[in-house]
Amino acid sequence: MRLTNIVWTTALIAAAIILTAVLSTASLGAVTGGDAAPGKTAAQVARGKYLVDIMGCHDCHTPMKLGPNGPEWDMTRALSGHPEQLVMPPAPVQQAPWLASMGMTMTAWNGPWGTSFTKNLTPDKETGLGDWTVEEFIATMKTGRERGKGRPVLPPMPVQNLAALTDSDIRALFAYLQSLPAIKNRTPQPVEPEEKK
Ligand code: HEC
Protein backbone atom coordinates (compact mmCIF):
# COMPACT_ATOMS: atom_id res chain seq x y z
CA MET A 1 0.00 0.00 0.00
CA ARG A 2 2.73 2.42 1.04
CA LEU A 3 4.77 1.64 -2.06
CA THR A 4 1.74 2.19 -4.26
CA ASN A 5 1.26 5.60 -2.65
CA ILE A 6 4.90 6.51 -3.20
CA VAL A 7 4.74 5.40 -6.80
CA TRP A 8 1.61 7.41 -7.49
CA THR A 9 2.79 10.51 -5.64
CA THR A 10 6.10 10.52 -7.42
CA ALA A 11 4.41 9.77 -10.71
CA LEU A 12 2.31 12.89 -10.23
CA ILE A 13 5.28 15.00 -9.17
CA ALA A 14 7.40 13.72 -12.05
CA ALA A 15 4.62 14.44 -14.50
CA ALA A 16 4.20 17.93 -13.05
CA ILE A 17 7.89 18.74 -13.19
CA ILE A 18 8.91 17.15 -16.45
CA LEU A 19 5.77 17.93 -18.34
CA THR A 20 4.65 21.45 -17.56
CA ALA A 21 5.15 22.32 -21.20
CA VAL A 22 3.20 19.30 -22.36
CA LEU A 23 0.37 20.23 -20.00
CA SER A 24 -0.07 23.65 -21.50
CA THR A 25 0.09 22.33 -25.03
CA ALA A 26 -2.32 19.50 -24.16
CA SER A 27 -4.94 21.99 -22.97
CA LEU A 28 -4.26 24.06 -26.07
CA GLY A 29 -4.98 20.92 -28.11
CA ALA A 30 -8.25 20.39 -26.23
CA VAL A 31 -9.33 23.98 -26.78
CA THR A 32 -8.64 23.93 -30.47
CA GLY A 33 -9.86 20.33 -30.89
CA GLY A 34 -12.79 19.31 -33.00
CA ASP A 35 -11.70 20.19 -36.50
CA ALA A 36 -10.59 16.65 -37.29
CA ALA A 37 -14.01 15.33 -38.27
CA PRO A 38 -14.21 11.54 -38.71
CA GLY A 39 -13.81 10.52 -42.33
CA LYS A 40 -11.58 13.45 -43.30
CA THR A 41 -8.44 11.37 -43.36
CA ALA A 42 -5.98 13.89 -44.84
CA ALA A 43 -7.14 16.59 -42.45
CA GLN A 44 -6.97 14.10 -39.58
CA VAL A 45 -3.39 13.14 -40.44
CA ALA A 46 -2.36 16.82 -40.62
CA ARG A 47 -4.04 17.54 -37.31
CA GLY A 48 -2.37 14.46 -35.80
CA LYS A 49 1.08 15.58 -36.96
CA TYR A 50 0.45 19.01 -35.47
CA LEU A 51 -0.57 17.48 -32.14
CA VAL A 52 2.37 15.03 -32.04
CA ASP A 53 4.76 17.92 -32.73
CA ILE A 54 3.39 20.36 -30.12
CA MET A 55 2.56 17.79 -27.44
CA GLY A 56 6.11 16.51 -27.22
CA CYS A 57 5.59 12.88 -28.27
CA HIS A 58 9.01 13.02 -30.00
CA ASP A 59 10.63 14.16 -26.74
CA CYS A 60 10.34 10.65 -25.35
CA HIS A 61 9.40 8.35 -28.25
CA THR A 62 12.09 9.45 -30.77
CA PRO A 63 15.61 8.48 -29.63
CA MET A 64 18.08 11.32 -29.19
CA LYS A 65 21.53 11.13 -30.76
CA LEU A 66 24.49 13.40 -30.31
CA GLY A 67 24.73 15.90 -33.18
CA PRO A 68 27.27 18.66 -33.85
CA ASN A 69 25.25 21.08 -31.70
CA GLY A 70 24.35 18.64 -28.91
CA PRO A 71 21.54 16.09 -28.54
CA GLU A 72 19.02 16.00 -31.40
CA TRP A 73 16.24 13.62 -32.45
CA ASP A 74 17.26 10.74 -34.69
CA MET A 75 14.47 11.18 -37.26
CA THR A 76 15.51 7.99 -39.08
CA ARG A 77 14.03 6.30 -36.02
CA ALA A 78 11.14 8.76 -35.50
CA LEU A 79 8.67 7.64 -32.84
CA SER A 80 10.05 4.09 -32.75
CA GLY A 81 10.75 4.13 -28.99
CA HIS A 82 13.74 2.91 -27.01
CA PRO A 83 16.25 1.35 -29.43
CA GLU A 84 16.25 -2.44 -29.09
CA GLN A 85 20.07 -2.63 -29.43
CA LEU A 86 20.71 -0.16 -26.60
CA VAL A 87 20.77 -2.45 -23.56
CA MET A 88 20.82 -0.26 -20.48
CA PRO A 89 22.98 -1.08 -17.44
CA PRO A 90 21.24 -0.84 -14.03
CA ALA A 91 20.17 2.76 -13.30
CA PRO A 92 22.11 4.81 -10.73
CA VAL A 93 20.70 4.72 -7.20
CA GLN A 94 18.70 7.90 -6.61
CA GLN A 95 19.64 10.00 -3.63
CA ALA A 96 17.00 12.45 -2.30
CA PRO A 97 16.18 15.11 -3.30
CA TRP A 98 17.05 13.59 -6.72
CA LEU A 99 14.06 11.66 -7.96
CA ALA A 100 14.64 10.13 -11.37
CA SER A 101 17.18 9.68 -14.14
CA MET A 102 17.03 9.20 -17.87
CA GLY A 103 19.22 7.63 -20.50
CA MET A 104 21.09 9.64 -23.14
CA THR A 105 18.47 8.76 -25.79
CA MET A 106 15.67 10.06 -23.49
CA THR A 107 13.85 6.79 -24.16
CA ALA A 108 14.78 5.00 -20.89
CA TRP A 109 13.68 6.36 -17.54
CA ASN A 110 14.26 5.29 -13.96
CA GLY A 111 12.45 6.42 -10.83
CA PRO A 112 10.37 5.05 -7.95
CA TRP A 113 8.23 3.18 -10.52
CA GLY A 114 11.28 1.21 -11.71
CA THR A 115 12.71 1.49 -15.22
CA SER A 116 10.44 2.26 -18.15
CA PHE A 117 11.21 2.32 -21.85
CA THR A 118 9.24 4.34 -24.37
CA LYS A 119 7.19 2.30 -26.84
CA ASN A 120 7.29 2.01 -30.58
CA LEU A 121 4.41 4.14 -31.92
CA THR A 122 5.04 3.35 -35.61
CA PRO A 123 2.62 0.98 -37.40
CA ASP A 124 4.93 -2.06 -37.34
CA LYS A 125 2.63 -5.02 -36.77
CA GLU A 126 4.89 -6.99 -34.42
CA THR A 127 6.69 -4.31 -32.44
CA GLY A 128 4.60 -1.13 -32.83
CA LEU A 129 0.95 -0.11 -32.98
CA GLY A 130 0.28 -1.85 -36.33
CA ASP A 131 -2.28 -4.26 -34.91
CA TRP A 132 -3.99 -1.73 -32.61
CA THR A 133 -7.52 -0.53 -33.29
CA VAL A 134 -8.39 3.13 -32.90
CA GLU A 135 -10.70 2.10 -30.04
CA GLU A 136 -7.77 0.54 -28.17
CA PHE A 137 -5.73 3.70 -28.71
CA ILE A 138 -8.56 5.91 -27.45
CA ALA A 139 -9.01 3.64 -24.41
CA THR A 140 -5.27 3.80 -23.67
CA MET A 141 -5.32 7.59 -23.68
CA LYS A 142 -8.51 7.81 -21.60
CA THR A 143 -7.65 5.21 -18.96
CA GLY A 144 -3.84 5.29 -18.86
CA ARG A 145 -3.84 1.49 -19.21
CA GLU A 146 -2.26 -0.54 -21.99
CA ARG A 147 -4.86 -0.98 -24.72
CA GLY A 148 -7.35 0.41 -22.21
CA LYS A 149 -7.44 -2.74 -20.10
CA GLY A 150 -3.88 -3.94 -19.36
CA ARG A 151 -1.43 -2.73 -16.74
CA PRO A 152 -1.16 1.01 -16.00
CA VAL A 153 1.13 2.84 -18.43
CA LEU A 154 4.18 3.92 -16.38
CA PRO A 155 5.73 7.38 -15.91
CA PRO A 156 6.88 9.57 -17.41
CA MET A 157 4.19 8.95 -20.05
CA PRO A 158 1.93 11.98 -19.38
CA VAL A 159 -1.28 9.95 -18.94
CA GLN A 160 -2.87 12.55 -16.63
CA ASN A 161 -2.64 15.20 -19.36
CA LEU A 162 -3.56 12.98 -22.27
CA ALA A 163 -6.80 11.85 -20.59
CA ALA A 164 -8.13 15.37 -21.32
CA LEU A 165 -7.79 14.96 -25.10
CA THR A 166 -10.99 14.99 -27.14
CA ASP A 167 -11.91 11.81 -29.01
CA SER A 168 -11.45 13.57 -32.35
CA ASP A 169 -7.93 14.66 -31.39
CA ILE A 170 -7.06 11.12 -30.26
CA ARG A 171 -8.37 9.81 -33.59
CA ALA A 172 -6.19 12.39 -35.36
CA LEU A 173 -3.12 11.31 -33.35
CA PHE A 174 -3.78 7.69 -34.27
CA ALA A 175 -4.38 8.51 -37.96
CA TYR A 176 -1.02 10.31 -38.11
CA LEU A 177 0.89 7.59 -36.22
CA GLN A 178 -0.56 4.92 -38.53
CA SER A 179 0.56 6.96 -41.58
CA LEU A 180 4.25 6.82 -40.52
CA PRO A 181 6.76 4.39 -42.03
CA ALA A 182 6.70 1.21 -39.97
CA ILE A 183 9.96 0.69 -38.07
CA LYS A 184 10.74 -2.71 -36.58
CA ASN A 185 12.02 -2.09 -33.06
CA ARG A 186 11.05 -4.27 -30.11
CA THR A 187 11.23 -2.05 -27.03
CA PRO A 188 12.18 -3.69 -23.71
CA GLN A 189 9.73 -4.56 -20.96
CA PRO A 190 9.82 -2.31 -17.89
CA VAL A 191 11.89 -3.38 -14.87
CA GLU A 192 10.34 -3.31 -11.39
CA PRO A 193 11.86 -1.06 -8.73
CA GLU A 194 14.59 -2.69 -6.58
CA GLU A 195 12.51 -2.67 -3.38
CA LYS A 196 9.71 -4.67 -5.05
CA LYS A 197 11.96 -7.46 -6.34
C1 HEC B 1 7.82 12.32 -20.93
C2 HEC B 1 7.92 11.19 -21.81
C3 HEC B 1 6.76 10.82 -22.72
C4 HEC B 1 6.03 11.65 -23.53
C5 HEC B 1 6.12 13.16 -23.67
C6 HEC B 1 5.11 10.79 -24.24
N7 HEC B 1 5.28 9.49 -23.87
FE8 HEC B 1 4.19 7.90 -24.52
N9 HEC B 1 5.21 6.67 -23.25
C10 HEC B 1 6.29 7.03 -22.47
C11 HEC B 1 6.77 5.86 -21.77
C12 HEC B 1 7.95 5.83 -20.81
C13 HEC B 1 5.94 4.79 -22.15
C14 HEC B 1 6.04 3.33 -21.71
C15 HEC B 1 5.47 3.19 -20.32
C16 HEC B 1 5.26 1.75 -19.91
O17 HEC B 1 6.02 0.84 -20.28
O18 HEC B 1 4.29 1.52 -19.18
C19 HEC B 1 4.96 5.35 -23.08
C20 HEC B 1 3.95 4.59 -23.65
C21 HEC B 1 3.08 5.06 -24.63
C22 HEC B 1 2.02 4.28 -25.23
C23 HEC B 1 1.64 2.87 -24.83
C24 HEC B 1 2.08 1.92 -25.89
C25 HEC B 1 1.87 0.49 -25.48
O26 HEC B 1 2.41 -0.37 -26.15
O27 HEC B 1 1.18 0.22 -24.50
C28 HEC B 1 1.42 5.07 -26.17
C29 HEC B 1 0.26 4.70 -27.09
C30 HEC B 1 2.08 6.36 -26.13
N31 HEC B 1 3.08 6.32 -25.17
C32 HEC B 1 1.77 7.43 -26.94
C33 HEC B 1 2.27 8.71 -26.75
C34 HEC B 1 1.83 9.85 -27.51
C35 HEC B 1 0.81 9.82 -28.63
C36 HEC B 1 2.49 10.93 -27.00
C37 HEC B 1 2.33 12.40 -27.38
C38 HEC B 1 0.98 12.92 -27.26
C39 HEC B 1 3.36 10.45 -25.94
N40 HEC B 1 3.20 9.10 -25.82
C41 HEC B 1 4.21 11.26 -25.17
C42 HEC B 1 6.80 8.31 -22.35
C43 HEC B 1 6.30 9.46 -22.95
User: How far apart are the CA of 61 and the centre of ligand 1, in A?
Assistant: 7
Q: What is the pLDDT of residue 3?
A: 53
Q: What is the pLDDT of residue 194?
A: 79
Cα(109)–Cα(103) distance, integer angstroms: 6
141 CA closest ligand 1 atom index: 29
CB 181 within 8 A of CB 122: yes
DSSP E strand stretches across 26-113: 64-67, 70-73, 101-102, 108-111
Is residue 57 lining ligand 1, measured as CB closer than 6 Å? yes
User: How far apart are the CA of 177 and the centre of ligand 1, in A?
Assistant: 12
Is residue 84 lining ligand 1, measured as CB closer than 6 Å? no
Q: Where are the domains of the chain?
A: 2-196
pLDDT along the chain (197 residues), means of 10: 54 44 39 45 96 98 95 97 97 93 97 97 98 97 95 97 96 98 98 79
Pocket test residue of 23, 60, 106 for ligand 1, highest count of atoms within 8 A of CB: 60
DSSP per-residue codes, 135-168? HHHHHHHHHSBGGGTSSBPPTTS-HHHHTTS-HH
Pocket test residue of 18, 49, 113, 118 for ligand 1, highest count of atoms within 8 A of CB: 118
Is residue 157 lining ligand 1, measured as CB closer than 6 Å? yes
Prediction pTM value: 0.83
